[in-house]
Amino acid sequence: MDELIEKFLEHIEFEKKYSENTISSYRKDLEGFNEYVKNNHINYKNMKYSDVTDYLIRLSGLKFKSTSIARHLSSIRSFYDYLIRENIVESTPFKLVKGPKKEQKLPNYLQYEEFLDLVNACDETNLGIRNRMILELLFATGIRVSEAVNIKIKDINFKEREIKITGKGNKMRIVYFNCVCQSVMSNYVLNARQDLLKGKTCEYLLINHLGNQITRRGIADILEKLIKKSAIKHKISPHTLRHTFATLLLNEGMDIREVQELLGHANLSTTNIYTHVSNEELRRVYLNSHPRAHKSE
């Protein structure tokens, strides 16, 4: 099988144009699989379903992470797809095996005091007022950055404190903002934004220093600069404010389906991850508060 692996690697390098790092990962995965097949006297042309599951169990026993096992499985599937196209094997049991579930990472979020620290890092210049507007908007609504940059002035109902959002799949929803956000937004729209436009017109709420629609990268750069001015030490991104929004609402007792609607999640399972965060916070509060929480039996 060694020669076939080399031919496959040449195929993905010269015909598929895969990167050097990707090819290196394929080589490592396939060489490990080849060694397993040889050591266990398995006919690679006639592998059984049980051979595949035994191999995955072995990887698990070697303490491979689920992401690594999934990558191994993907590499071997691609290799066998190549063998089928080359008429070297007729079928493969690898397509019948589901990979391990990905480890679910809990989203990071800000404490309220950390959010205030970011707000205080904004100065009173026109750009500073805009930057605070961005923070207050993301914190108040939980919208995605990609949704924020596409908000048009006409989408905002200042009186009712509502914004019409176009989310993934062009799905429309209404989000709400608070009095503080309303005040900051009004100041930005009536004053700072007008100065930044310099006589130009732009239908979008958030604009850059040239008076044009701001980009997602632009917002990420703004947040990065504000973090450096603040006392926050852990890594955060614009999406962290979305995580913060969802976590705080659940911690305050909002129903998860209502949070799902505000976030624009198509599936409740996507929103469910925030319940894990809330449970962790509940556990922390319990351990810090209960008089017997730190006592041994």
- Positions annotated as catalytic residues are 144, 168, 239, 242, 265, 274
Classify the C-alpha dihedral 28-32-37-38 as positive or negative.
positive
Helices 238-251, 268-289: inter-axial angle, 10-degree rounding: 70
CA distances from 297 to 27, 28, 72, 288 (A): 53, 50, 46, 18
Q: What are the residues whose beta carbons fall under 8 Å from the beta carbon of 276, sequence distance 6 or more?
A: 104, 106
Alpha-carbon distance of 58 to 101, in angstroms, equals 17
Nearest to 33 by CA among 94, 96, 91: 94
The token duo for 257 is 């389906």
**Cα–Cα distance between 18 and 292 in angstroms, integer?**
58
The CA distance from 157 to 204, in Å, is 14
- The DSSP result for 153-217, as a single string, is GGGEETTTTEEEEE-GGG-EEEEE--HHHHHHHHHIIIIIHHHHHTT---SBS-B-TTSSB--HH
Question: How many Å apart are CA 216 and CA 227, to the nearest integer?
Answer: 17
- Phi-psi category of 161—alpha, beta or left, where left has phi over 0 and alpha has psi -120 to 50? left
> CB 62: neighbour CB atoms within 10 A?
10
